[in-house]
């Protein structure tokens, strides 16, 4: 029964936010609570000669000042490597810098005071003497033998390297009619969640219990991390993630400051609050991307894509992030290249290099925007070389919709995708013929418009092969406890978490349909390790696909139990009964037999009237781990229409289209807004967002006045259409949708800008595509044209 | 040294001793427990802390609490209680014009101020009016839709009253 699955159900929990009644960690105040502030390294690399805290410790309100010597011993250091990334290295990290500082912003001392303001006053009085050293901030040369090291505890600047290739790749290039190639640079950017990272760690020495209120996607992962790194029994550690003001992957990594708050609470026996201010967010939240990619594509005379060759150099921080590493993004970049296409051969080389900047790690659509932009830019060049148009070359090369299962040249297994159907739908929405005519007419008037398209796949619902096999304690399974209350209302406690996507809403819809009730009768609890079962929680678009399936299966088990009980009560074979309209009904006729509240009443208050031995427990627990394919893939295609002012380099985003196949759609209202939000997080780094560093490793635009994020006035309206290809690996068939928008928006936009600039022979291969870079590209093209 | 500040917060007189350097945002959140006003940047860029001071939206992170002396402050809690933004809230809910909820109070303040000065804004005018409000989740389109829908609905309910006044 799917009465509510597929409906645009509104989010019940949105009402609290609209009334100003959100419950964010940054709102939390506990008795005895202290406020933490960190003193940070002003240099990107150096050796600590001394820290003088005497004047600071006399400041009003200061309770304690920690340096590494008295804080770090409380915490086992962490190492950001995974076993299945063979040969990977990353030096251990602990809360406060010990001998060396490794990036601008590296925490050196921690101040605990009665208020944040007093702690900040004291921070100004801490004297840190650092002998600065030449930081590593560059690209390729850092990997040459003998290069200065970003982190002296590593044996070189190479964190990890990988090579992926098919046996015939060289032959494919040798026999190709055309080889197109380009070098690309993808700037470093960061999540800028509107609520910064926030934690209140509350250790109660009288009970030995640690409760950590934390704005995170992954409370169970942090329960495990805090238990292991602070030597606490896991059962004594509770992590609560209430409302989270944006996360996007950024809030599932281990950070020095959160570990510091826990350590300080353990030592002081008082709640410790740390909420990053915006300036701290820029120098401590993970950054993402920062890749230089050189790509080639071998193409036959008829436009068939034969092979790709990729060399990706990505620069991370001075250590790899924990526990998911800083190598996963590059790993996905080289594996996602060419993924939508039938292309048979491939070589991908990845180098992950240390440098003295903020660590990079997983942020929404990990690796996808890079792989997609490189692939789709090369496809456009292949189209140009072979005289195809953008739609034609894709129609020729995208995997046929009836050719599944399919294994990509990089080894990804696709169950069933719908690239060709998506392409056809996009063509209908965009009407490229009309756009070309308009483009030509406007060019005659000196107005330069262009459009671009980009096909994509998106990895979702990873199983244990993603992290678990590498030794990381990151769960691929999720759990749900579904129970019927005496009133017949339903409660579901589930391990997938909510950051505003609507997780709780879709879980209520799924459970409601299994139990024949309206979603309003299903309350959902998430985000508390003490009240929900352990699971992977929300990342990699797992909420709908894995969380939804977990809820579905748990709901069905409860349904069966209710029907068994009902069968005994109405003395009928349970197989002739089903649940509908809040009651047990006759399966054939739909005639009501007994209401859920009556079953709840009897099971709870009068179990003595039930037949002997019947199980009257109206609570079930179920855990689900994805099986079948190692992960799911969603697919789709995006289109972008832009206008470039060739005098100023300013780009106006006129329109954006998305055709997306996320499998079964549980809630179209939420799915579309996930796509729109994702698209804007893809357009941001394509045009605006970049963490700019100088040669000394100083972040020069680390404030919201200087770091540009997309604003309402710059963003286009976004047209969305769907193809629905449910996965057969689950009953529900949902694949997830959180990252699809981000995956291809920048790629489509880059192709659009380059289409607009085609009359000038200018071509952008670097993001963000700032006005200055666009003018530079126009200049370069002009010089090339006028060169003798 | 603390100084006394007298204000009207959400319609009720409030007298409170504050440190002179306290921002209005910290005063509302920490002293009065009105946590619906959020802090996103503490430099007047993101708009999460917008409140109405004497009817006009101000960044509570940039105004000192002492500067609100004698002023009338309305926060999301007050506007919710009086029902002044009930239609906007409903429209945001219908259109799913919020995800994490952290920008929402500020968005409602900007929307309310926009509709007060321009009853029937175009989409471009709405987008322009949100130029001081960051949202990282929605991509803005649903917010624009929700504000436009509220403007249209207010125009319909206001129309009979206008006719009457004209007569």
Each residue of A172-216: pLDDT tens digit? Answer: 999 999 999 999 999 999 999 999 999 999 999 999 999 999 999
- Residue B38: pLDDT above 70? yes
* Rounded Cα–Cα distance for residues A143 and A133 (Å): 18
In contact, A18 and B98? CB cutoff 8 Å: yes
CA-based torsion, A740, A741, A746, A750: positive or negative? positive
Domain range summary for chain A, segments of one domain joined by +: 18-133+192-284, 287-464+628-786, 477-624
- Residue A463: pLDDT above 90? no
- Of chain A, the end-to-end C-alpha distance in Å amounts to 72
- Which residue from A154, A22, A31 is spatially nearest to A100, judged by alpha carbons? A154
- Which residue from A545, A642, A588, A537 is spatially nearest to A240, judged by alpha carbons? A537
Fold of A18-133+192-284: Aldehyde Oxidoreductase; domain 3 (3.90.1170)
With a pLDDT cut of 90, the percent of chain A lying above it is: 96
Residues of chain A contacting B41 with CB distance shorter than 8 Å: 278, 703-704
Instruction: Tell me the average pLDDT of chain A.
Output: 97
pLDDT tens figures, A16-61: 999 999 999 999 999 999 999 999 999 999 999 999 999 999 999 9
- If pLDDT is split at 50, 70 and 90, which confidence band does B166 have? very low
Q: What is the mean pLDDT of residues A664-676?
A: 98
Q: Say if B80 is an interface residue toward chain A (CB within 8 Å).
A: yes
Predicted confidence at residue B159, as pLDDT, reads: 67
Predicted confidence at residue B164, as pLDDT, reads: 44
Fold of A287-464+628-786: Aldehyde Oxidoreductase; domain 4 (3.30.365)
- A619-624, strands of its sheet edge to edge: A522-525, A490-494, A478-484, A619-624
pLDDT tens figures, A557-611: 999 999 999 999 999 999 999 999 999 999 999 999 999 999 999 999 999 999 9
Q: Which of A678, A705, A741 shows the shortest C-beta gap to B45?
A: A705
Predicted confidence at residue B162, as pLDDT, reads: 47
Interface predicted TM-score (ipTM): 0.97
- Residue A274: pLDDT above 80? yes
Rounded to a whole number of angstroms, the distance from the CA of A519 to the nearest CA of chain B is 16
- In chain A, DSSP finds a helix count (H) and a strand count (E) of 20, 29
Interchain CB distance below 8 Å, B43 and A194: no
DSSP A544-585: IIIIHHHHHHHHHHHHHHHHHHHHHHHTS-GGGEEEETTEEE
* A287-464+628-786 shares its CATH topology with A477-624: yes
All structural domains of chain B, each given as residue ranges with its CATH number in brackets, are 3-80 (3.10.20.30), 85-158 (1.10.150.120)
Residue with tokens 């060049």: A381
DSSP E strand boundaries for A339-477: 345-353, 406-407, 413-414, 448-460
- If pLDDT is split at 50, 70 and 90, which confidence band does A332 have? very high
Interchain CB distance below 8 Å, B99 and A26: no
Which of the pair, A164 or A467, is modelled with greater confidence? A164
Interchain CB distance below 8 Å, B80 and A19: yes
Interchain CB distance below 8 Å, B139 and A676: yes
Residue A549 CB-density burial (10 A; 0-12 exposed, 13-18 middle, 19+ buried)? buried
- If pLDDT is split at 50, 70 and 90, which confidence band does A140 have? low
- If pLDDT is split at 50, 70 and 90, which confidence band does A139 have? low
Residues 128-157 on B with a CB inside 8 Å of A are 128, 130-131, 133-144
SS3 A720: strand
Q: What is the DSSP letter of A161?
A: E
Rounded to a whole number of angstroms, the distance from the CA of A410 to the nearest CA of chain B is 32
Predicted confidence at residue A1, as pLDDT, reads: 56
pLDDT tens figures, A87-138: 999 999 999 999 999 999 999 999 999 999 999 999 999 999 999 999 999 7
Predicted confidence at residue A434, as pLDDT, reads: 98
With a pLDDT cut of 70, the percent of chain A lying above it is: 99
Task: Select the residue from B102, B122, B145 to test the A interface by mutation, using most A Cβ atoms within 10 A.
Answer: B102
Fold of A477-624: Aldehyde Oxidoreductase; domain 4 (3.30.365)
Backbone angles phi, psi at A214, to 5 degrees: -145, 135
């Amino acid at each position: 029964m799917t009465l509510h699955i597929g409906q645009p159900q509104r989010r019940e929990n949105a009402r609290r936010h609209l009334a100003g009644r959100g419950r964010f960690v940054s709102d939390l105040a506990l008795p005895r609570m202290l406020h933490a502030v960190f003193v940070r390294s002003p240099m990107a690399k150096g050796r600590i000669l001394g820290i003088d805290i005497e004047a600071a410790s006399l400041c009003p309100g200061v309770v304690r000042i920690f340096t590494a010597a008295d804080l770090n011993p409380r915490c086992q250091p962490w190492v950001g490597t995974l076993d299945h990334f063979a040969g990977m290295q990353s030096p251990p990290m602990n809360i406060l810098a010990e001998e060396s500082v490794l990036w601008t912003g590296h925490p050196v001392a921690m101040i605990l005071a009665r208020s944040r303001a007093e702690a900040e006053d004291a921070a100004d009085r801490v004297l840190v003497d650092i002998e600065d050293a030449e930081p590593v901030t560059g690209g390729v040369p850092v990997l040459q033998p003998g290069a200065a090291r970003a982190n002296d505890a590593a044996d070189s600047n190479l964190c990890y390297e990988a090579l992926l290739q098919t046996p015939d790749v060289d032959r494919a290039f040798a026999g190709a009619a055309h080889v197109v190639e380009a070098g690309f640079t993808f700037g470093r950017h960061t999540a800028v969640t509107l609520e910064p990272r926030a934690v209140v760690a509350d250790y109660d020495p009288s009970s030995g219990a640690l409760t950590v209120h934390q704005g995170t996607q992954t409370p169970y992962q942090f329960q495990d991390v805090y238990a292991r790194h602070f030597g606490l029994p896991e059962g004594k550690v509770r992590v609560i993630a209430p409302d989270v003001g944006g996360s996007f992957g950024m809030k599932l990594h281990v950070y020095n400051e959160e570990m510091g708050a826990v350590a300080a609470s353990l030592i002081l026996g008082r709640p410790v609050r740390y909420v990053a201010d915006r300036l701290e967010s820029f120098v401590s939240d993970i950054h993402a991307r920062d890749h230089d990619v050189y790509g080639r594509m071998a193409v036959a005379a008829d436009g068939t894509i034969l092979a790709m060759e990729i060399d990706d150099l990505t620069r991370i921080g001075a250590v790899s992030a924990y526990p998911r590493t800083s190598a996963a993004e590059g790993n996905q970049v080289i594996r996602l290249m060419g993924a939508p296409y039938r292309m048979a051969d491939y070589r991908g080389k990845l180098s992950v290099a240390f440098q003295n900047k903020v660590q990079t790690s997983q942020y929404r659509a990990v690796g996808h925007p890079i792989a997609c932009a490189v692939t789709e830019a090369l496809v456009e060049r292949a189209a140009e070389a072979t005289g195809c148009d953008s739609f034609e070359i894709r129609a020729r090369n995208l995997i046929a919709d009836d050719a599944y299962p399919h294994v990509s040249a990089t080894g990804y297994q696709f169950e069933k995708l719908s690239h060709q159907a998506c392409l056809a739908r996009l063509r209908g929405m965009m009407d490229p013929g009309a756009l070309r005519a308009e483009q030509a007419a406007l060019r005659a008037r000196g107005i330069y418009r262009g459009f671009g398209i980009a096909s994509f796949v998106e990895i979702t619902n990873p199983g244990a092969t993603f992290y678990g096999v590498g030794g990381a304690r990151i769960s691929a399974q999720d759990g749900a406890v579904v129970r019927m209350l005496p009133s017949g209302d339903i409660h579901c406690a589930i391990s997938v978490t909510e950051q505003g996507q609507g997780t709780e809403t879709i879980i209520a819809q799924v459970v409601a349909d299994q139990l024949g009730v309206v979603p309003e009768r299903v309350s959902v609890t998430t985000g508390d390790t003490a009240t929900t079962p352990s699971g992977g929680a929300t990342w990699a678009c797992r909420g709908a696909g894995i969380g939804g399936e977990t809820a579905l299966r748990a709901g069905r088990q409860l349904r069966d139990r209710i029907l068994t009980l009902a069968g005994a009560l109405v003395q009928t074979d349970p197989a002739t009964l089903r649940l509908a309209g809040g009651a047990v009904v006759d399966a054939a006729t739909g005639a009501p037999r007994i209401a859920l509240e009556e079953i709840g009443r009897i099971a709870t208050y009068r179990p003595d009237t039930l037949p002997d031995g019947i199980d009257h427990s109206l609570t079930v627990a179920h855990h689900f781990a994805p099986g079948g394919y190692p992960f799911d893939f969603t697919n789709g295609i995006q289109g972008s229409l832009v206008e470039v002012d060739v005098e100023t380099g300013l780009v106006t985003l006129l329109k954006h289209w998305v055709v997306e196949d996320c499998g079964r759609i549980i809630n179209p209202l939420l799915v579309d807004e996930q796509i729109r939000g994702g698209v804007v997080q893809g357009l941001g780094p394509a045009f605006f967002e970049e963490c700019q560093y100088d040669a000394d490793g100083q972040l020069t635009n680390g404030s919201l006045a200087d770091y540009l994020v997309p604003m309402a006035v710059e963003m286009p309206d976004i047209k969305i259409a769907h193809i629905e290809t449910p996965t057969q690996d689950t009953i529900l068939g949902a694949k997830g949708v959180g990252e699809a928008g981000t995956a291809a928006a920048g790629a489509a936009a880059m192709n659009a800008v380059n289409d607009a600039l085609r009359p000038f022979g200018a071509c952008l291969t670097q993001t963000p595509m700032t006005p200055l870079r666009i003018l530079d590209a126009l200049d370069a093209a002009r010089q090339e044209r006028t060169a003798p | 040294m603390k100084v006394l500040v007298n204000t009207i917060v959400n319609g009720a007189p409030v007298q409170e001793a504050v440190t002179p350097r306290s921002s209005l945002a910290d005063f509302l959140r920490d002293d009065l427990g009105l946590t619906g006003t959020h802090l996103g940047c503490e430099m007047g860029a993101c708009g999460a802390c917008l409140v109405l001071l004497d009817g006009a939206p101000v960044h509570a992170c940039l105004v000192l609490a002492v500067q609100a002396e004698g002023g009338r402050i309305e926060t999301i809690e007050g506007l919710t209680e009086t029902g002044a933004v009930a239609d906007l809230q409903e429209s945001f809910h219908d259109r799913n014009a919020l995800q994490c909820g952290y920008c929402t109070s500020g968005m409602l303040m900007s929307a309310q101020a926009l509709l007060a000065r321009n009853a029937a804004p175009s989409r471009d005018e709405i987008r322009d009016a949100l130029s001081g409000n960051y949202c990282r989740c929605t991509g803005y389109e649903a917010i624009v839709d929700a504000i436009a829908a509220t403007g249209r609905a207010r125009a319909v309910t206001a129309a009979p009253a206008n006719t009457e006044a004209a007569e």
